Structure 1
């Protein structure tokens, strides 16, 4: 720790290692690829809104004189934790400014500016010079800023443009409308601009760009694919494998050659699983003339996920998915967790009521969430936030492919991620142009397989799946008998399809893959207000679908007029879940959802993370035996 640089300069306020609590989200944002020399840039920045996107013409990237407000990074301006909380206007543009002094011991180092995520079109200037531009609101990126730095204070200016009405960029569950919970339905408050940690990192002249760590359970080894900034003779790439207590197990040295895998054998291997999430530590080094010029700390889990017929297997043992839908929203931070403890706590809350994993729904979760999932043995499916995109437009498809590639590569090494889900409920695109829709999905599935041969692709969660390794259905029937009737004819040879949701001619026949119910239940229960006529809160239930707002044509599910009790809601959830668990050909479920989100009150927990039901009963419901696990 002695080499870690935490010196922070915020407009005259000095923050040191003794005062880390003053820095929001002070932890290292990338625990699976850590260098010692880094500076956290979270905290107060000057900023200004750019409602007409005229800042470039006005030269704000060179002269930030109008940046007269303060925002707390990494929280978005719509959130309470940012200190701004602007929710009654769309924010098409926002500019940030702060100064930083580079430490003297970083002299002769290459300096990189990192962003955990910025929504959506981000540019950064250092001392008035453009350092780089990145498109994509969910994934991490970096710019090298070495050529633009000077001694003393350096100006960093960041601009983010976010056009939520364009249809060309993904939104996930962010609403493109102004604040009105009555018409949002399944959309929630937006996240504009910076929403994850911003940080600086120092590297040597030649450095390790990335290391893909492929677990090979059947041969008790890891296969590494390192990428270097330069391939130089006389420089050695050394890999040290350590156990969870950081005791050295073995070391392997190789030359710097792109594309040549490095094999790391593991004697007496311990596998990663939910029951025993064992993680091996790695130390990657570049060595020149017996001197370490670059060092990265990492970790990985030795685990295998594969498919045989209609069954999923983890480490060659049958796997049943007891998942919950997690949308990753926080009352005060929106897409950003208020602190690292909350990332861990959400996983612990989920596991406490019987879930073994989650669909990370319509949001790219930050790397520290995956870190905690790895540590705690929590299975996940990585999902793109594709809502809001017009799939008939080629630019839209290109934007999806570009960012999805970055996501898969960034999160490849996390053992907790067992499948990729690049789309969700793509019925709108299919209805507009089925052929374009089909090609877009096939291309993304092929790209995902090319980037990652170790995981199955769950191409589209629910509805028009076109081609997929894992077949899924979304079913919100509240009546367990109707739910049971829907799956009565489902067998691996049945050619079952989803005409009832996707519409005749669009549904794709089931072909015997692992089948799971990727969304169900979602039963309304508001612990604070159970008046069924309350128009501001909703959930699925015995009711009617009604048009609430003619202008926006937003449909909502209305609660049952019969006032339920917490016991009747628990009974309904148990009956629905038992239908799925008792089916001999269903490989798992995903309950909707972990927490309430704003006006959608169908979580196991409230939006502020209070348990709504009997926790022990919930655990019994979700952990009850599954019929498919009893079959050979």
Structure 2
């Protein structure tokens, strides 16, 4: 079967919005939409050279970025296929000649190989992190047509790699969901200058908000004897320039600092999500060679005297669990508007943030959380079995997420490396598992000392900044248990200890990070929600809560919204409860 035609290349595409909101260039090409597709259940593709143009049979068509299991993909097949292949013919714009061309993949679950015109260009392991291919390095600078072939491998039944809530059985399994195989975030291209381009940016706000640290990582051949590369950062608030800084690029990066006048400091919070616009410019021997746009919010999160603080003031977190699944797209939101709408629904219910559970979410979600004012405890998919390789894979993805992809989003106030001991089934008896959990927590804190780290959300904590507890008991029990710290520390959530071997309580703030789980609708849902939430609000100890959950997901029917986002209760009935002032606020 032949390659996709030019008309398919020009057809309307899903998820057309720019996929990397904190580093934006004007010139780019979205490759979502129809691709040729094939299952490879007998693992014939590599042997038969499906990677070469016109080789192999690609009998199906799939709508990228949706996985084949998702109805929005146009296939909607829930059965297991561990190896899948994609093919797409792309014509590069003539205006891109002479520039370096980068091919980006937002996420491919779980292992990917990419060929360009039959040449192997990249291999990547990790189902939740982005990667890119330098097309120019592979094919040269004068290529016009590129055949992109992608092989994706997702071991459907394996449990020793990060897969989160994706089930490993063909039959439905309570509490686990349909897997997402292969490409599930946007595929796109961009041209960048050959000499120097802004590759990555890391931003950090100092407490007080008057200083913004900027680290620009530069790609290309900058820093050579023939070229002096400098950089500039311009910061604007509501269109007015409030800060400019510049510096010289070394071999790979430039670091600088913006100092704001007190009157130009507008702190970010859920109540007032002030954002600043940033422009990054690079110059080669004085001539501008690259420009990119970004944004930031000035805020800092801390624990002071046992209290969770936002911008130096105690802040009560009223969160909701959000698994990030959609009936049409599974892990992939059907539209950018759908990501925004979930946050708007949560705020309509009176929540000021969410916990993202067993998933590293699409960066566009964090963009809308930044814009709308919405706190996020950001998680990652865990393995289901403990092994050294599973920990190595988890750490690899966390390093990319924390150091680079998501670090610039002010909405993210906490990292959650493990939830409910997923993949760590013997934390109370196996010192090796405890050591790995402690090492992972400590490494995240080294990667990012500006955010909280919740070592194991729910129970079995080690060196956690927060004592987070999952507790689905009734309202009377919750009211009694959380009246005293002694009662809390005596609790064993679902039979688990609050701390692992060698762990102990050291004054951390207490957050009931999971409660509820109500299977009801209408007045009954509102009544139970009020009783449970008021019981926790009455605690003089608890400093935050997280209700489970925002939406139904497949067989889980405990959402405030159905799986297709219809409300099961009047939002005002929930909001009036959430708007009340907790005892510990």
TM-score between the two structures when normalised by the length of structure 1? 0.86
For residue 509 of structure 2, what is the aligned residue in structure 1? 514
Pair 1:188-2:177 in alignment = yes
2:456 pairs, out of 446, 449, 460, with 460
> What is the alpha-carbon distance in structure 2 between the residues aligned to residue 517 and residue 212 of structure 1?
32
1:585 pairs, out of 536, 541, 544, with 541
For residue 260 of structure 2, what is the aligned residue in structure 1? 266
Task: Check 1:456–1:259 CA distance in 2 against 1; reply closer, same or farther (3 A cut).
Answer: farther
> What is the alpha-carbon distance in structure 2 between the residues aligned to residue 24 and residue 503 of structure 1?
46
Task: Check 1:353–1:234 CA distance in 2 against 1; reply closer, same or farther (3 A cut).
Answer: same
1:207 pairs, out of 197, 207, 211, with 197
Task: Check 1:596–1:500 CA distance in 2 against 1; reply closer, same or farther (3 A cut).
Answer: closer
1:151 pairs, out of 121, 139, 143, with 143
2:153 pairs, out of 130, 152, 161, with 161
Give the conservation status (yes or no) of the 8 Å contact 1:595–1:609. yes
Alpha-carbon shift at residue 155 of structure 1 (Å)? 0.7
For residue 395 of structure 2, what is the aligned residue in structure 1? 401
For residue 340 of structure 1, what is the aligned residue in structure 2? 336
> What is the alpha-carbon distance in structure 1 between the residues aligned to residue 56 and residue 103 of structure 2?
23
Which moved further from structure 2: 363-372 or 52-61? Answer: 52-61
Give the conservation status (yes or no) of the 8 Å contact 2:247–2:254. no
Q: Write the mapping of 1:521-540 to structure 2, written as runs, cut at 5 A.
A: 521-525=516-520
> What is the alpha-carbon distance in structure 1 between the residues aligned to residue 516 and residue 346 of structure 2?
16
> What is the alpha-carbon distance in structure 2 between the residues aligned to residue 179 and residue 337 of structure 1?
24
Gaps of 5+ in 2: none
> What is the alpha-carbon distance in structure 2 between the residues aligned to residue 372 and residue 55 of structure 1?
40
Which moved further from structure 2: 217-226 or 594-603? Answer: 217-226
For residue 612 of structure 1, what is the aligned residue in structure 2? 568
Pair 1:423-2:415 in alignment = no
Which moved further from structure 2: 58-67 or 482-491? Answer: 482-491
Report Cα offsets for 1:410-445 as digits up to 9, x if no partner.
101000000100100117624276212111111111
SS of alignment partner, residue 281 of structure 1: strand
SS of alignment partner, residue 424 of structure 1: coil
2:167 pairs, out of 165, 172, 175, with 175
1:85 pairs, out of 47, 71, 76, with 76
Pair 1:575-2:531 in alignment = yes
> What is the alpha-carbon distance in structure 2 between the residues aligned to residue 139 and residue 86 of structure 1?
24
SS of alignment partner, residue 122 of structure 2: strand
> What is the alpha-carbon distance in structure 2 between the residues aligned to residue 317 and residue 80 of structure 1?
46
2:408 pairs, out of 407, 413, 430, with 413
Task: Check 1:197–1:259 CA distance in 2 against 1; reply closer, same or farther (3 A cut).
Answer: closer
SS of alignment partner, residue 345 of structure 1: helix
> What is the alpha-carbon distance in structure 1 between the residues aligned to residue 298 and residue 567 of structure 2?
34
SS of alignment partner, residue 485 of structure 2: coil
Which moved further from structure 2: 200-209 or 393-402? Answer: 200-209
For residue 253 of structure 1, what is the aligned residue in structure 2? 246
Gaps of 5+ in 1: 1-8, 528-565
Report Cα offsets for 1:474-515 as digits up to 9, x if no partner.
0111x21122333344259x8545365315995754321011
Task: Check 1:430–1:389 CA distance in 2 against 1; reply closer, same or farther (3 A cut).
Answer: closer
Pair 1:443-2:399 in alignment = no
Which moved further from structure 2: 507-516 or 102-111? Answer: 507-516
Alpha-carbon shift at residue 55 of structure 1 (Å)? 1.6
Report Cα offsets for 1:179-225 as digits up to 9, x if no partner.
43xxx111011110001100011111222221111012425021112
Alpha-carbon shift at residue 48 of structure 1 (Å)? 0.1
> What is the alpha-carbon distance in structure 1 between the residues aligned to residue 237 and residue 42 of structure 2?
54
> What is the alpha-carbon distance in structure 2 between the residues aligned to residue 219 and residue 185 of structure 1?
46
Runs of 4+ in 1 over 6 A off after TM superposition: none
Pair 1:483-2:478 in alignment = yes
For residue 223 of structure 2, what is the aligned residue in structure 1? 231
> What is the alpha-carbon distance in structure 2 between the residues aligned to residue 503 and residue 165 of structure 1?
30
Alpha-carbon shift at residue 171 of structure 1 (Å)? 1.2
For residue 553 of structure 1, what is the aligned residue in structure 2? none
For residue 348 of structure 2, what is the aligned residue in structure 1? 352
SS of alignment partner, residue 418 of structure 1: strand
SS of alignment partner, residue 13 of structure 1: helix
> What is the alpha-carbon distance in structure 2 between the residues aligned to residue 99 and residue 289 of structure 1?
38
Give the conservation status (yes or no) of the 8 Å contact 1:496–1:509. no
Give the conservation status (yes or no) of the 8 Å contact 1:168–1:399. no
> What is the alpha-carbon distance in structure 2 between the residues aligned to residue 329 and residue 134 of structure 1?
24
Task: Check 1:262–1:332 CA distance in 2 against 1; reply closer, same or farther (3 A cut).
Answer: same
Report Cα offsets for 1:328-378 as digits up to 9, x if no partner.
111111111111111101100000010000001111111110000000000
Task: Check 1:490–1:505 CA distance in 2 against 1; reply closer, same or farther (3 A cut).
Answer: closer
For residue 367 of structure 1, what is the aligned residue in structure 2? 363
Alpha-carbon shift at residue 265 of structure 1 (Å)? 1.3
1:44 pairs, out of 29, 34, 38, with 34
Task: Check 1:505–1:65 CA distance in 2 against 1; reply closer, same or farther (3 A cut).
Answer: closer
Give the conservation status (yes or no) of the 8 Å contact 2:9–2:90. no
Pair 1:299-2:295 in alignment = yes
Task: Check 1:513–1:496 CA distance in 2 against 1; reply closer, same or farther (3 A cut).
Answer: farther
For residue 621 of structure 1, what is the aligned residue in structure 2? 577
Give the conservation status (yes or no) of the 8 Å contact 1:597–1:607. yes
2:118 pairs, out of 106, 120, 128, with 128
Give the conservation status (yes or no) of the 8 Å contact 1:418–1:456. yes
Give the conservation status (yes or no) of the 8 Å contact 1:489–1:496. no
